[in-house]
Each structure stands twice: as C-alpha cells, then as structure tokens.
Structure 1
Amino acid sequence: MSEEALEYYKAAEISELQDGKVHSREVDGELICLIKLDQEIVAFTDNCTHISGPLNQGEFDGCSITCPWHGARFDVRTGKVLRGPARQDLYTYTVKVEGETILVGLPPA
C-alpha cells in the first residue's frame, strides 16, 4: 500500500521508548509493538502470525523477536519469518516522526 493511502495516528513520544525494548501500544484499535533501534523506530503487529501469540511478551534480540508461545522468530525491521512454525511474515507499519511524536500509518478502515 502506498504511503499516501495510509492514515497516521500518534503511537508514542520518543521519550517514552527505551532503546532495544519492546513497547506495546494500541493505535486506533490495533495492537502494535514499537522498538527503538538506535535512531530508527520500527512498528509491527503484536500478534504472531502462527496463532496470534503476544509478541510484546517475546524475547527481543538484536533485530529479531521470538514469540513466547511456540518460538517463531521474525525480523522486526522487515517482518520476515526467520524461524517457524510461523509461515507468514509479520505486518509492519510505516513510521513517521514529527518533532518528538511517533506516528504509525494504518490502512484506512
């Protein structure tokens, strides 16, 4: 989906995020995870694509997150599956920063 077709919603302030820590947020009814990686902020769905395990409770290491339920692992920057049992990539969100505010792009309802 093109960036122009997205609707942007406030997810957090930069000061609320700690480097390398998973932060769970609800943005316009969507459960998402935010992670600050050095100067980049990534956002992805909080539901594992295997059977909807809570990724915010998973183990984060470097650039990957492991689902606490069955061990599926994903690259948080791209959403790509790194290890099964998940077969489908995570949905990742477009992130914009305006001043200190982190905005996440969601598809229109």
Structure 2
Amino acid sequence: MEKTVNYVAVAAVGDLREGFLTEHEVEGRAVVVAATAEGIHVYDAMCPHSDFRFGASRLRLGCEIECQMHGARFKADGTGAVTKGPAKEPLEVLDSRVVDGVVEVLVDWLI
C-alpha cells in the first residue's frame, strides 16, 4: 500500500506581514511562518535548544527568529541556521510552497 503525503493550507499570504513570525496549528503540530523580504518559510514552532514555543513575534532585524526563553537566534531564510547561541542545532525547516496566494506545508509527519 502506497502512503501519500499532502500539502495542507497554513495561511493566506495576504494575512502575513513582512518582518513578522506567525504561529499556526497544522494537523496537530505547531508551526511558525516567517515572512521576510526574501520570501516565506515555515519552521517547527519549538526552539531546538529549550523546547520553548516561539509564538507570534517580530523578526529580529527583519530576518532572524529569536527565542524569548534564552535569546537564541536563527536565520529565517529557509535554512534555520543558528546565528546566536545558546542553541547549537538549527530550526527544523518544513517543506512549504505558495499556491494561489496560500502558504501550504507538506504534512509528512503523519506517515
């Protein structure tokens, strides 16, 4: 039996503000959407350092996600790379796309 994976709608692009992070629930998982001048990217909503949820916030310098627990920072450019500790692991980047003005995320964690 072949398992299928689907993209699921997360948010309308028109509802996102450049320079901000928004939190959403998708198929039982908290995710965050970062809208930057370079594009829109989706990440797991938990900081890999402290298991603290990011929640909705302004992106630092318009391009970094900052954890409010310990100040760890991550690139919001689709890599999730650490830019400031104490975190050592990058954010989990989720496969996403924009279709007809809607951000969709690949729901592969249900397989």
TM-score, length basis structure 1: 0.84
Specify the code of the residue in structure 2 equivalent to 1:33: V
Task: Report the CA distance between 1:34 and its aligned residue.
Answer: 0.7
Alpha-carbon distance in structure 2 between the residues aligned to 1:44 and 1:63: 14
The CA RMSD measured in Å over matched residues stands at 1.8
Q: 2:48 maps to what in 1? A: 49
Task: Report the CA distance between 1:59 and its aligned residue.
Answer: 5.3
Task: Report the CA distance between 1:106 and its aligned residue.
Answer: 2.7
Superimposed CA distance per residue, residues 13-37 of structure 1 (whole angstroms, 9 cap, x where no aligned partner): 1111111111110011111111222
Alpha-carbon distance in structure 2 between the residues aligned to 1:27 and 1:13: 14
1:99 has 2:62 as partner: no
Alpha-carbon distance in structure 2 between the residues aligned to 1:99 and 1:29: 24
Q: 1:68 maps to what in 2? A: 68
1:87 has 2:94 as partner: no
Task: Check whether the contact 1:58–1:67 (CA below 8 A) recurs between aligned residues.
Answer: no
Alpha-carbon distance in structure 2 between the residues aligned to 1:96 and 1:16: 16
Alpha-carbon distance in structure 2 between the residues aligned to 1:39 and 1:82: 17
TM-score, length basis structure 2: 0.83
Q: Which runs of 4+ in 1 moved over 6 A?
A: none
Q: Determine helix, strand or coil for the equivalent of 1:90.
A: coil
Question: Structure 1 unaligned runs (5+)?
Answer: none
Task: Report the CA distance between 1:39 and its aligned residue.
Answer: 5.8
What is the percentage of aligned positions where both structures have the same residue?
Answer: 27
Count of residues paired in the alignment: 105
Task: Check whether the contact 2:12–2:103 (CA below 8 A) recurs between aligned residues.
Answer: yes
Superimposed CA distance per residue, residues 23-65 of structure 1 (whole angstroms, 9 cap, x where no aligned partner): 1100111111112223611111111001112222555222111
Specify the code of the residue in structure 1 equivalent to 2:67: C
Alpha-carbon distance in structure 1 between the residues aligned to 2:38 and 2:82: 24
Question: Structure 2 unaligned runs (5+)?
Answer: none
Alpha-carbon distance in structure 1 between the residues aligned to 2:97 and 2:86: 32
